[in-house]
Amino acid sequence: MPLSHCSTHPKPCTLTCEPTGVARLDLLAQMSEVESRQEEYPETLAFIRLVNALMTALVPHGLPAGGIHISHYTQFVLGQVLAHLWHRGYR
């Protein structure tokens, strides 16, 4: 599914088809549906590690434009991961 489809689609795309024909869920759907059912969050943790690595690399030099370019990532972590921290099961 091309990215242009997602940008014009009225609802956020949660299911995409890889070139191999394997369906993939976006991170929010993966976290809410698959990982929470398994009570393990490897993709969520990988995303948080990626955001942390990016911020660690940027902070010594100062965040460009006051961090506006990464705010949607931090808002996702705050609103979708940390806000539901105590409502999910863990192993």
- For 18-27, write each residue's pLDDT tens digit: 555 555 668 8
| Of 15 and 72, the one with more pLDDT | 72
- For 40-80, write each residue's pLDDT tens digit: 999 999 999 988 888 888 776 766 676 777 788 888 889 98
Residue 89 burial by Cβ neighbours in a 10 Å radius (0-12, 13-18, 19+): exposed
0.75 surpassed by pTM:
no
DSSP 13-73: --EEE-TTS-EEE-HHHIIIIIIHHHT--HHHHHHHHHHHHHHHHHGGG--GGGGTTTHHH
